[in-house]
Structure 1
Amino acid sequence: MIKYTVLNENTKKTELTPFEVSQTDYREECLKNIIESVRVIPIKKLHEITKKLSDHPTIYLFSKGVSKYAAEYVYYIYTMAGFNVKYPRDYDFRQIASKQVKPNDLVFILTYNGKNLEFVEMIKNWGNLEEKPFLISITEPDNNTIQNLSDINLYIFSDSIKVNNTEISSRVSTIPLMELVLYQYIEGYGGRDFNFIKR
């Protein structure tokens, strides 16, 4: 990789960087990733999810790693919108919660690579029930196990970033995506239960 000095001379880049593109370009890529993540949601899938939300199901959020921090915000806004949201944050709590999921519940699994074995095992266990819950996963766009086991898969775009042997690729696109689902529900089904002031 080449960088330019102040004197406009080419020198070999000696420092290590976790970015696949330069930081200048990454600013544009970050915006593109958010826009694309929202743009590609099929309207049919969006309406299918909001129809499920209109039944006022208990919502379960399952996530781990970096995705947990996006899930915290999702938990907050859906709870404030009046939904009963269960968000087990640690392994033991997730194991208990996964056994409490009922057929009419709505499950969101936020897992970027879509291969997490803990979540795969959960989904397989739900598949053994006489009626399984409706499952929506949010993963990267590559074909993956959890995507293929879900009723609906939504995906986010992000540039791969790893530091200190830890994957910290951005999950920020999850937030506008889940906001869009919620706001679409409010517009379609919210009625007088919600008061909005447009600024």
Structure 2
Amino acid sequence: MRNYLARSVWIGIGLISVIVFGAGVSATEHLRFDRVAIEAGEWWRLLSAHFVHLSSGHLFLNLAALALAAYVTSPSASLRLQLLAWGWLCLVTGVGLFIFADDLYYYVGLSGALHGAMLVAIAPSPYYSPKVRLIVVLVIVVKVIWEQTGFYDDMANSEMVGGRTEARSHMFGAIAGLVWIAVSQSWKYYERRKSLEN
């Protein structure tokens, strides 16, 4: 049986998203990514925006993706590292949108950070072979690259989610995830080398 305690961070993120959605319009207005409000000093919106959703359909899609990423997460992953990873993914996505998407005034949703979270979850997962893990990582990366081209229709899911899909958030989330993987793998390699030398 898989260790469900290791997924408490993921469950918490899902619960926060459901609670914020249930709180209604007022919560959305105070927590969403709002460029003018952020420029006025409301920096928490860079993180809180990820827990706000446009509609029940939008929330359901993100919760389904969250559950999938949690499912492939290694039960040996420490809660502290998971919290750090989620903080990193949300922060990089929010800051990336703020700095590099200057035409974007409002943003809500977990999908940007989720693209990074799926990468962070699958890369070290003990449940799949290295080949399967590499294929999943490549599929996510190719998807994100495709979304940045003119072939992608950011309004394709508008009826379900209640608005336009902000594909740039997927890109920043994926970049954050890849950086996390690179740093964590480099650290593990360093620790192995150090233990062999001693």
Pick the structure with more strand per residue.
1
Normalised by the length of structure 1, the TM-score is: 0.24
Q: Which structure dedicates a bigger proportion of its chain to helix?
A: 2
Specify the structure having the higher radius of gyration (Cα). 1
TM-score normalized with structure 2 length: 0.25
